[in-house]
Amino acid sequence: MLSKADNELLCRVGPGTPMGELMRQYWIPAFIASELERDGWTRRIRLLGEDLIAYRDSNGRVGVIDENCPHRGSSMIFARNEEGGVRCAYHGWKYDCSGACIDMPSEGEQSSFKSKVRIKAYRTQERNGIVWVYMGARQLDPPPLPDLEVNMEADAWGNGEPFKYVRQCNWAQALEGDIDTVHINFLHTRLDRQFRTEGNRLHQADPNPHLEIINTDYGYFYGARRDVGDAYYWRITQFVMPFYTMVTGPGGKVWMPIDDYNTLIMEWRPSRKSSVPRDYDDTANMLTGRQPWGYKADDEMVPWGNWRLKADVDNAWRRDHSLEKDKLYVGIYSNPLQDSAVQVTMGQMYDRTKEHLGRRTKRSSGSAAS
């Protein structure tokens, strides 16, 4: 278990916190490019505990700026996005993507005051349909984008695009759940054999996997070995600093902290096919549905309000108890929603001083908690 101090150190990500400052040294893959239209509406977002506004200007550049205008503090969610910048609706002060004030009509043409005013702005970079944001101190000379598959292969997500969703808990407990291999023997188990593939039978055959862990320069990876009769079945999982996971194959997920109590998840693969609309609700196919397609109505006043799932804690993730008789271990459709249910009900930020970790032997360095 972690001490209270270590738990706080791990989970808190706001400005000035050790983990928050560490994460700000990395580029954050915050947007799917199609989310932001040229001269389109501004978006209210929150990353690492900071309230921000995102938009795409007339030249196609993406701006990420502080939510509050430095003049009187009004929210820039009401700003007009036009002619190369966003203009505050309160008094008309206008800012470009770099944060410079480029027009201050209330001061008159002779005033030079606009040259002395800036709004906080963060660097952005776009590649292969993803918009990255850098929130660290190196705004003039940021590090290069990470050499992840999504940056190196234009079709990294195949015939479709990545998709996103909000989970109402701390980033660490959400990420931990993804790299935990033992829970797939229970939480994601199918009770009806007709829906099981051979691969699923293999990884469900042994609930007591043996773990072998290898530390790397970028994080670590481990193999979970399960006994399946006269052979072994290996399931490989990777963790890449500071918030990436890759489980059993290509692609991966990003676990971006919105704040201390909410996480924005982006999945590279499997992707949302281009033929499937963003707001598609797959409840009708819940027995075979893999991903949570249904989203709530967009609330522009809620950060990331366009990526909140219809199935969440307010409706018990649409749990159907009848499915637990002979079809699903837990009557919630799709693995991500099952994960959400167990992670969110741990509390917004789990107190790890209360947990009792089991142990799994490993060859590399003794033992591993699970």
6 domain residue, yes or no: no
Q: What is the DSSP letter of 118?
A: B
pLDDT at residue 151 in the model: 84
296 domain residue, yes or no: yes
What is the total count of domains within the chain? 2
Does 324 lie in the same domain as 210? yes
Q: What CATH number has the domain bearing residue 95? A: 2.102.10.10
Please, what is the average pLDDT of the chain?
87
12 domain residue, yes or no: no
pLDDT at residue 254 in the model: 94
Q: Which comes out higher in pLDDT, residue 149 or 123?
A: 123
Does 127 lie in the same domain as 173? no
pLDDT at residue 140 in the model: 94
Task: Determine how many CB atoms are found less than 10 A away from the CB of residue 217.
Answer: 6
Contacts of 363 by beta carbon, 8 Å cutoff, 6+ apart: 212
pLDDT at residue 88 in the model: 97
pLDDT at residue 279 in the model: 67
**DSSP assignment of 70-103:** TTT--BGGG-EEETTEEE-TTT--EE-TTSBEEE
Does 130 lie in the same domain as 172? no
Residue 368 has pLDDT above 50, yes or no: no
Of the ranges 223-237, 265-279, 335-349, the best mean pLDDT one:
335-349
Does 286 lie in the same domain as 193? yes
Average pLDDT over residues 272-294: 65
In DSSP terms, 102 is beta-bridged to: none
Average pLDDT over residues 244-263: 89
Q: What is the pLDDT of residues 219-252, one digit of tens each?
A: 999 998 888 778 888 889 999 999 999 887 666 8
Does 129 lie in the same domain as 267? no
127 domain residue, yes or no: yes
Average pLDDT over residues 38-50: 97
Q: What is the pLDDT of residues 180-211, one digit of tens each?
A: 988 888 898 888 754 444 555 555 667 888 88
Average pLDDT over residues 164-183: 93
18 domain residue, yes or no: no
pLDDT at residue 263 in the model: 98
Of the ranges 111-120, 160-169, 289-298, the best mean pLDDT one:
111-120
143 domain residue, yes or no: no
Does 169 lie in the same domain as 108? no
Confidence of residue 365 (pLDDT cuts 50, 70, 90): very low
Confidence of residue 15 (pLDDT cuts 50, 70, 90): very high
3-class state of residue 177 by DSSP: helix
Does 170 lie in the same domain as 62? no
**pTM passes above 0.85:** yes
Average pLDDT over residues 27-55: 96
The closest of 169, 350, 134 to 259, measured between CA atoms, is 169
19 domain residue, yes or no: no
Does 186 lie in the same domain as 102? no
Does 311 lie in the same domain as 202? yes
Of the ranges 79-83, 189-193, 325-329, the best mean pLDDT one:
79-83
Does 361 lie in the same domain as 298? yes
Does 127 lie in the same domain as 248? no
Does 199 lie in the same domain as 267? yes
Range of the domain at 236: 165-369
324 domain residue, yes or no: yes
